[in-house]
Amino acid sequence: MQSFLKSGKLGPANVDKGPSTSKTPKKSKIVPWVEKYRPQTVNDVVEQNEVVSVLEQCIAGADLPNLLFYGPPGTGKTSTILAAAKQLFGNIYRERILELNASDERGIQIIRDKVKSFSQLTASGTRPDGKPCPPFKIVILDEADSMTHAAQAALRRTMEKETKTTRFCLICNYVSRIIEPLTSRCSKFRFKSLNESMINERLRLICKEEGILCEEDTLKTLVEASGGDMRRAITCLQSCSKLHGTGVPINIETVLEVTGIVPQKWLTDFIEVCKKGNNMNAVEFVKKFGCEAYSASQFLEQFNDFLVTTNTFNDKQKAIIGEKLGVSILSAIISRYLKQFFQSVNYFVQDGGSEYIQLCSLAASVIIACNS
Amino acid sequence: MSLLWCDKYRPKDFSKLDYHKDQGMALKSLTKDGDFPHLLVYGPMGAGKKTRIMCLLRELYGPGVERLRSEVMNFTTPSNKKLEISTVSSNYHLEVNPSDVGIYDRVVIMNIIKNVAQTQQLDVNGQKAFKIIVLTDVDSLTKDAQHALRRTMEKYIATCRLILCATSTSRVIPAVRSRCLCIRVPAPTTEEVVKIIVETASSEDVDFPKKLAERIAVMSERNLRRALLMSEACKVESDGKLTPDQNIAEADWLVMIRETARLILAEQSIAQLKKVRENLFELICRGIPSEIIFKYLLDQLLEQCQLGLAAEILENAAIYEHQMIRGNKEIFHFEAFVAKCMYLYQNVLEEMKCDF
Ligand SMILES: Nc1ncnc2c1ncn2[C@@H]1O[C@H](COP(=O)(O)OP(=O)(O)OP(=O)(O)O)[C@@H](O)[C@H]1O
Ligand SMILES: [Mg+2]
C-alpha cells in the first residue's frame, strides 16, 4: 500500500476542492453527470421551494438562521447548502465554511477543538475585493445522523455561544437521530422525495445537453424506479446511455436491469408456488430466486405494491400476509413513508437478517393465507 | 506450485467470459471513454463478481493491474488502538476488506479513501485521472462505515472511483446505493456450470463424466468456485478414472450440520440440547460464519423433519436469525432457536400419541 501511495506524487494542496472546480480541462471531461449537473445556485435546486426562498432572502441580505436539513438521499440537501455558500461568500467561500461529514472524525474532542476555534474566528462584512458579504461563517455538519449523541451534546454550547459569528447547518437523513436540544435551535427543512415530473424534466434537459436519445416510456420507467432520488435517476441515465454504446437509444431492458427491478414473472411464480401449498417447494423457489441476486427488499416492496392492488387474495388473506410483511394494507395506501416503518420482513432484511430465511418465512405465511 | 483450477482458468478478459456475455460487453462499453461511475457489484458467492471486476480493471489499465503485491497497512483509531489490515494492490488499484478489522472498519474507510484520492496518478499524461479502490464484503460493513463512504464518494470522485462488492444490496444503506451503478451478477445456470466443469477438466486432459458434473453443479448450489473445487477434489480422489456415480466429498462442516439437525430431531431433552450446543460451538470456532450455519441447519431441519412443521420452523428461524445478527453472542440465539424447534417437535409428537 505504501508503494501504491507513493507511486504518484502528492496532489496539490487543493485536491480537497472536489471535482467541480478542477482546473485542467482534461479532468472536467470525465466528471460524472451527477457532479456536472449539481445545482450551482439555489435557484437551480428543484422542488425544495421552502428552503430555497429562505436562502434567497439571505442572499439578498437577510439574516440566516441555523439550519437543519433532513430527507431521503439524493434530494439536494448537500447541493443546496454548498450552492448557497458559494452565492453568499463568492470567491472566499472556502475560508468561510467548515465542512465536516461522516468520513471526518467528529468525536467530542473535535467538536470542542476544531469547531469551536473555527467558530471563534471573526468574520468581516466585506470581502478582500471590497464587495459586501455576510459577517459570519457557516459550519456544515453533513450526515449528522452518524454523530454520537455525546458529540451532538458538545455542539450545544458552541452553537449558543457563537451566534454572532457563526451559523450551523446540520444535514441528515433521519431527523430522529438528532438530539432535541439541537433541533430546537435550528429552522428545520424537510427535503421531500422529488416528484416524478420534476425528475423527468431534469433528465430531459440532461438528455438534450448530452445528446442522448430516450423514448418517453423508457424515461418514465427510469424515473419511477428512482423512487424520488434525483442522484439515482441521473446515475442510471448516464449508465444506461453508456452500457450499450453511445448514439444508440436507451432501451427499456437496460433500464430495468440497471435499476434492479425484479421482473414481474418472479412475483407471479412466487404466488403460484405458494398456492400449491408445499413449503419445501417454496423453499426451493426462494433458493432459485437467491441465485438470481435480485434484492430481497426490492422484491418485498414490489410484492407489497402487488398485494395492495391484486384480487388474487381476499381481504382476510391479505391481512395474514400483510401482518407478515408488517404493513397494514391501509397504511401502505396512505403513505410510502409510513410503509418503511411498518414492514417487518423488509425491516428484518435491511437490518441484516438473512434474505433467504426471511423470504422463506414470508412464503410460509403466504401458504397459510392461501389455505385459509 | 500448481494453481487450483478455479484460479488457473479464471478468464482475464471480457471476451473470454463463459456466461453473462452480454453483461460483459456492456461493462466493456461502460469503460470505453475511460470513465465510469462508482460501482456496486452484487451477486451470490462464486457467481463471478471478482472475475468481472478484474476484467474491468484490465480493460481500463491494461495488464499492469495484474502485478499485485500484498501489504499490511497500519491505522490508529481515535482511542489509540492500533489496527492492522492486509491489502492487495497494483499501481492502479487497491483492494481491501474493511470488515477484517470488525467494528473499526470506519477508521479504515476514512483513511484509505483520503490517502488514495490525494495521491495522483503516476502516469501524468496517461489515460486515467483516477485510481480505483475495491472494497469487498460491503454488506458486512457497519452502518457507521457506510455513512463514512457517502460524502467521500462524491468529494473525491475526480481522483478515485470505488468498486463495492457485496452478496446482496439489502444491507447497503440507500444513500450509498444511490451513489453507485448497481451491477447484478446472477449465479451461472446449472447447465453453464456443467459446461465449464467439463471444459476446464478437458483443458487439464481429464475426461469428466457429464453426469458427475451435473451432480456437482446441483450440490454446489450453482456456486462456480465451489463446483470447480469439488471437481478437482473428485479428480484427485479418483486416481485416474472418474466415474459418473463416484462419491463427491462433502465439506466436513456440512456433514456436521446434518448431524446436528439429526440430533435435534432424535431426542428432545436438556442433555441433548447440550450436545447440540457443543456441535454448534465447534462450528463457530472453526470460523464458519454463523449466517451460513443457520441457513444450512434450517435446510437440514426442514428436510429431516417430516411432521409438517415447516411453517412454524420457518417463522421462528426468521425471528431468531434476525436476533442473532443484531446481537453479539451467536451461540445463545442458536440455542434458543434449537430449544424452540425441540419444543415444537415434541408437541407434535405428543399430539400424535394422543391420536392413537
Ligand atoms: N433538488 C434537486 N435539484 C437538482 N438536482 C438535484 C436535486 N437533488 C439532487 N440533485 C442531483 O443529485 C445529486 C446529489 O444531490 P445531493 O448531494 O445534494 O443529495 P443529498 O440530499 O445531500 O443526498 P445524501 O442524503 O445522500 O447526502 C446532485 O449532484 C444533483 O445532480
Ligand atoms: Mg449529502
Closest CA to A99 of B106, B154, B172, B145: B154
The reply to whether B165 and B74 lie within a common domain is: yes
Which of B38, B146, B147, B154, when mutated, tests ligand 1's pocket best, judged by the most ligand atoms within 8 Å of its CB?
Answer: B154
Closest ligand relative to A205 C-alpha: 1
pLDDT tens by residue, A161-211: 888 889 999 999 989 889 999 999 999 999 999 999 999 999 999 999 998
Residue % of chain B over a pLDDT of 90: 48
Average pLDDT over residues B127-137: 85
Residue A10 forms contact with B (CB below 8 Å) = yes
- Give CA–CA dist A311/B179, Å, rounded: 37
CA distances to A268, A302, A308, A326, B226 from A265, rounded to whole Å, are: 5, 12, 18, 24, 29
Q: Categorize the per-residue pLDDT at B356 as very low, low, confident or very high, splitting at 50, 70 and 90.
A: low
Which of B322, B334, B337 is the best substitution to test chain A (most A C-beta atoms within 10 A)?
Answer: B322
Average pLDDT over residues B20-29: 88
Is residue B24 included in any domain, yes or no?
Answer: yes
Model confidence at A301: pLDDT above 50: yes
What's B69's domain CATH number?
3.40.50.300
The reply to whether B49 and B121 lie within a common domain is: yes
What integer best gives the mean pLDDT of chain B?
Answer: 88
pLDDT tens by residue, A36-65: 999 999 999 998 999 999 999 989 988 999
The reply to whether B83 and B152 lie within a common domain is: yes
Contact state of A236 with B181 under an 8 Å Cβ cutoff: yes
Is residue B342 included in any domain, yes or no?
Answer: yes
Amino acid making up residue A95: E
**Better pLDDT: A146 or A3:** A146
Is residue B15 included in any domain, yes or no?
Answer: no
Model confidence at A335: pLDDT above 70: no
Q: Is the CB of A108 under 6 A from ligand 1?
A: no
Q: Is the CB of A77 under 6 A from ligand 1?
A: yes
Q: Is the CB of A228 under 6 A from ligand 1?
A: no
What integer best gives the mean pLDDT of chain A?
Answer: 82
The reply to whether B213 and B131 lie within a common domain is: no
The reply to whether B137 and B284 lie within a common domain is: no
The reply to whether B206 and B293 lie within a common domain is: no
Is residue B242 included in any domain, yes or no?
Answer: no
Contact state of B129 with A15 under an 8 Å Cβ cutoff: no
Beta-carbon contacts below 8 Å between A and B: 239
**Cβ-contact A176, A182 below 8 angstroms:** no
Q: Which atom of ligand 1 is nearest to the CA of B179?
A: 26
Contact state of A73 with B174 under an 8 Å Cβ cutoff: yes
What distance in Å separates residue B299's CA from the closest CA in chain A?
A: 9
The reply to whether B210 and B91 lie within a common domain is: no
The reply to whether B179 and B327 lie within a common domain is: no
- Give CA–CA dist A239/B36, Å, rounded: 8
> What per-residue confidence (pLDDT) applies to A351?
66
Is residue B126 included in any domain, yes or no?
Answer: yes
Is residue B246 included in any domain, yes or no?
Answer: no
Is residue B179 included in any domain, yes or no?
Answer: yes
pLDDT tens by residue, A109-161: 888 888 888 988 888 888 888 888 889 999 999 999 888 888 999 898 888 88
The reply to whether B178 and B32 lie within a common domain is: yes
Whole domain around residue B231: which residue ranges? 190-237
Contact state of B117 with A294 under an 8 Å Cβ cutoff: no
- Give CA–CA dist B236/B238, Å, rounded: 6
The reply to whether B288 and B339 lie within a common domain is: yes
ipTM computed for the complex: 0.88
Average pLDDT over residues B123-127: 54
Q: Categorize the per-residue pLDDT at A342 as very low, low, confident or very high, splitting at 50, 70 and 90.
A: very low
What's B345's domain CATH number?
1.20.272.10
Model confidence at A343: pLDDT above 70: no
Model confidence at A16: pLDDT above 70: no
How many independent structural domains does chain B possess? 3
**Cβ-contact B283, B293 below 8 angstroms:** yes
> What per-residue confidence (pLDDT) applies to A124?
84
The reply to whether B208 and B270 lie within a common domain is: no
Q: Categorize the per-residue pLDDT at B1 as very low, low, confident or very high, splitting at 50, 70 and 90.
A: very low
Model confidence at A339: pLDDT above 60: no
Ligand 1, atom 28: nearest CA belongs to which residue?
A38
Residue A60 forms contact with B (CB below 8 Å) = no
Is residue B157 included in any domain, yes or no?
Answer: yes
Model confidence at B307: pLDDT above 50: yes
By Cβ distance, the residue of B71, B143, B187 closest to A291 is B187
Contact state of A291 with B35 under an 8 Å Cβ cutoff: no
What distance in Å separates residue B121's CA from the closest CA in chain A?
A: 5
> What per-residue confidence (pLDDT) applies to A332?
37
The reply to whether B180 and B329 lie within a common domain is: no
Which residues are A190's β-sheet partners? A70
Which of A360, A362, A366, A367 is the best substitution to test chain B (most B C-beta atoms within 10 A)?
Answer: A360
> What per-residue confidence (pLDDT) applies to A28?
43
**Better pLDDT: A350 or B95:** B95
